[in-house]
């Protein structure tokens, strides 16, 4: 489990892709804390370390992961948000993030708003029902609060700290971002669905 609080921005040093999937090496100052088999959120995608040293780690992304996430657009030199799995007893500073990406959102616009920056993204049609005003959402692995909401889009407001410590400061219109909606919303829908279907009969 993760919290959506980015611990480092890593750099993709190498990426070997083929019919079987992709293997990445990512340089990061977190390397010394990573062991074989550890879970690491890479732009919000939970991946497993298959090799690690003090300068970084290697991980593999299977075809399914590449198909449904924005990791498919990575290349050597790409910068990625990194977060190590939360340890028991630590503070939950963001919100509950699984690293199980629900879809890919596309940046529609960026607007300066005082010292903050508002980022509007287009949501996949199936995910809009999980977003609520002032609710939680993870974009590229970053825990954020929904600041505005439309039928097929949402906006978040990024403070200078977020702009500096995550790759969202580099986001531009057209860029794809992994999106994970609030886990609680999905569970509520699942629990209520049998009762709602009965009412509709």
Long-range contacts of residues 129-136, Cβ cutoff 8 Å, at least 24 apart: 129/189, 130/102, 130/181, 130/182, 130/185, 130/186, 130/189, 131/181, 131/182, 132/185, 135/182, 135/185, 136/4, 136/94, 136/95, 136/182
Are 127 and 171 contacting, i.e. CB atoms less than 8 angstroms apart? no
pLDDT of residue 32: 95
Per the prediction, the chain carries an average pLDDT of 93
pLDDT tens, position by position, 91-138: 778 788 999 999 999 999 999 999 999 999 999 988 988 999 999 999
Residues 74-88: pLDDT tens digits? 999 999 999 999 887
Q: What is the pLDDT of residue 90?
A: 81
Query: Residue 196 has what pLDDT?
Result: 65
Q: Is a pLDDT exceeding 90 seen at residue 41? A: yes
The CATH number of 8-84, from 3.20.20.70, 2.40.30.20, 3.90.1150.10, 3.40.50.720, is: 2.40.30.20
Entry pTM: 0.91
Kindly tell me if the per-residue pLDDT of 89 is higher than 90.
no
- Is there a common fold for 8-84 and 103-189? yes
Flag whether pLDDT at 22 surpasses 70: yes
Structural class in CATH, domain 103-189: mainly beta
Q: Which pLDDT does position 200 carry in this prediction?
A: 55
Q: Domain residues of the chain, as ranges? A: 8-84, 103-189
């Amino acid at each position: 489990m993760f919290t959506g609080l980015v611990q480092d921005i890593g750099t993709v040093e190498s990426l070997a892709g083929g019919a079987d999937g992709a293997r990445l090496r990512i340089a990061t100052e977190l390397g010394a804390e990573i062991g074989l088999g550890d879970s690491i959120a890479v732009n919000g995608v939970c991946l497993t370390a298959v090799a690690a040293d003090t300068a970084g780690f290697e991980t593999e992304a299977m075809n399914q992961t590449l198909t449904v996430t924005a990791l498919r657009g990575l290349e050597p030199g790409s910068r990625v948000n990194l977060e190590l799995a939360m340890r028991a007893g630590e503070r939950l500073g963001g919100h509950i993030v699984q690293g199980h990406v629900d879809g890919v959102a596309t940046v529609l616009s960026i607007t300066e708003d005082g010292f903050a920056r508002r980022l509007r993204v287009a949501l996949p049609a199936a995910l809009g029902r999980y977003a609520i005003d002032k609710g939680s959402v993870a974009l590229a692995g970053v825990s954020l609060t929904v600041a505005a909401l439309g039928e097929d889009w949402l906006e978040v407001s990024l403070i200078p700290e977020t702009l500096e410590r995550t790759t969202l400061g580099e986001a531009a219109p057209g860029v794809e971002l992994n999106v994970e909606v609030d886990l609680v919303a999905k569970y509520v829908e699942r629990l209520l669905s049998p009762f709602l279907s009965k009412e509709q009969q």
